[in-house]
Amino acid sequence: MLQLEPLPSTFEPIDSDPHNSLGEAPDNGTIISLQLTHRVVARFPDLSKRYRSFVGVAAFSSAALLLLASIAINSRLEHGESPEQILLEITSEEIENALRP
């Protein structure tokens, strides 16, 4: 079974200044979706190698791969699949073809 990190039910504002540059804190659903996206991407090291970005000496999965994975995941979530089922069943081909009709 997929274990996602427990999240606080609310976020406390860091600063009451409306002009701060920190931006909005993501809601719990967004955080869970991002965690699932990173776990799905971690299942496919070959995809991570193909979609790798370098910043100095560090290598990261590119934003394009994370975007494709999140589109594929959200499509499955909209069809009622559970995060556990998605993590077990999603394929690298499905991720790479997420933008194709």
In a domain, 50, yes or no: yes
In a domain, 47, yes or no: yes
For residue 43, the model assigns a pLDDT of 93
Strand partners, 54: 59
> How distant, in Å, are the alpha carbons of 22, 32, 40, 68, 84 from that of 6?
23, 9, 18, 25, 15
Residue 5 scores a pLDDT above 60:
no
For residue 13, the model assigns a pLDDT of 47
pLDDT per position as a tens digit, 40-77: 999 999 988 888 877 776 666 688 899 999 999 999 99
Question: Whole domain around residue 45: which residue ranges?
Answer: 28-96
C-alpha 20/C-alpha 76 separation (Å) is 36
How sure is the predictor about 17, in pLDDT bands with cuts at 50, 70 and 90?
Answer: low
Q: Count up the domains in the chain and report the number.
A: 1
Report residue 60 as tokens: 């990261």
C-alpha 62/C-alpha 60 separation (Å) is 6
Which pTM value belongs to this model?
A: 0.68
